[in-house]
Amino acid sequence: MNKSQANRRRFIKESVTTAAGLAGLTALPKELLAAPGIPYSVPVVGSSRPKGAARIRFSAIGLNHGHIYGQVEAVIRGGGQLVSFYAKEPDLAAAFTKRYPDAKLAKSEKEILDDGSIQLVVSAGIPDERAPLGIRVMKAGKDYMADKPGITTLEQLAEVRKVQQATKRIYSIMYSERFENKATVKAGELVKAGAIGKVIQTIGLGPHRMNAKTRPEWFFDKQRFGGIICDIASHQFDQFLFFTGSTQAEVVASQVGNTNHPQYPKFEDFGDAMVRGNGGTGYIRVDWFTPDGLKSWGDGRLTILGTDGFIELRKNVDIAGRDGGNHLILVDNKETKYIDCSKETTPYGTQLIDDILNRTETAMTQAHCFLATELALKAQKQAQQVKLKV
């Protein structure tokens, strides 16, 4: 077993223990508890395979981040049939086979791209490889769903936009902190219904736990993961656009830094940004400083300020004592109300398949998808360096 494989196995063993204490998260199958490639931050919910004929056939290429399991599950819940997959790494392929034994291990990426029956390809490959793959997928006449960050440079973004426009295929990035978080889905419904009036600002906080010893080498190389704002904060830019209704926006200021990990000189552990759109303003902060004492990978929060109230989300954990995640607090001119969102549904997978079949944009418009990424990439590129005194 090489060092990379050993790290992935250690990551699973440590992270599953952490996830086990979170109410509302379905446990991993026993055969996968020691399998590489599935992080604690993406619990694998049981495959709720739809009854009857599949609505679409899809495949997976690139399993380097455990988010692939959440992506696959979303499509399956929406009515997709996982037909095949390809991964260069034998250990990642073996783990995926245990989870999805009916899916065929393809001999190559080309085998999947040449299969005319496949309508969608999902990927959680190494971040800087996701856009080039998406371009190949679209040129092969298929739609594409990437893990975030779905694009790591402005040059990649320009090429993706060009090919998407030429092929008219769907290039979707799974911003899971909105699409797959039930409290955030509920917040979207409340805002749309006018519960807090017109949204003025969002404040998105995305802290993460480091788990450095279990991470692959590319995790610490900015050229591979794109930088902390490009990577983690893509979620927050997506939510800013969605909740403010902004269709145009600019980065006001941003900063990044490697404040406490000199042993990883190509890494960034802190970043924040201010953004202004034609529908509202936003502040974003992301970091890799979740302490081990928290029973979650990160205390992800979102505050949505409106003219008639505000909504606060505690996405993964309530440090005040409530169990599980998906906590929503609504404050308006009449009351302060707590809403448990753990039983809400997440419609992204169903909507994406609808869009694939009907050539519509119900899950997310292509313009929104690309603008969220563009803002993250610009904030990353223009960020000032944070240098703290030792």
Write the DSSP symbol of residue 219.
G
Residue 142's closest CA among 162, 121, 157, 163?
A: 121
pLDDT of residue 318: 93
Rounded CA-CA distance 270/286 in Å is 6
In CATH, what class is 178-347+378-385?
alpha beta
Q: Which residues pair with 86 in a beta bridge?
A: 61
Q: Give the Cβ contact number of residue 35 at 10 Å.
A: 23
Residue 37's closest CA among 66, 11, 61, 16?
A: 66
Torsion-angle region of 52 (φ positive above 0: left; ψ -120 to 50: alpha; else: beta): left
What superfamily would CATH give domain 3-175? NAD(P)-binding Rossmann-like Domain (3.40.50.720)
Q: What Rg, from alpha-carbon coordinates, does the chain have?
A: 20
Tokens 């402005």 correspond to what residue? 154
Helix (H) or strand (E) holding 303: strand 301-306
Tokens linked to 384: 């000032």
pLDDT of residue 32: 35
Tokens linked to 55: 């609505």
Q: Which residues pair with 174 in a beta bridge?
A: 147
Q: Taking the CA of residue 196 as centre, how many other CA atoms within 13 Å lie in the half-sphere pointing to its CB? A: 24
- Domain ranges in the chain? 3-175, 178-347+378-385
∠ Cα 296 233 312 (to 5°): 60
pLDDT of residue 389: 79
Digitized pLDDT (tens) for each residue of the chain, 390 residues in all: 555 455 544 444 433 333 333 323 333 333 333 233 333 334 444 444 555 689 999 999 999 999 999 999 999 999 999 999 999 999 999 999 999 999 999 999 999 999 999 999 999 999 999 999 999 999 999 999 999 999 999 999 999 999 999 999 999 999 999 999 999 999 999 999 999 999 999 999 999 999 999 999 999 999 999 999 999 999 999 999 999 999 999 999 999 999 999 999 999 999 999 999 999 999 999 999 999 999 999 999 999 999 999 999 999 999 988 999 999 999 999 999 999 999 999 999 999 999 999 999 999 999 999 999 999 999 999 999 998 876
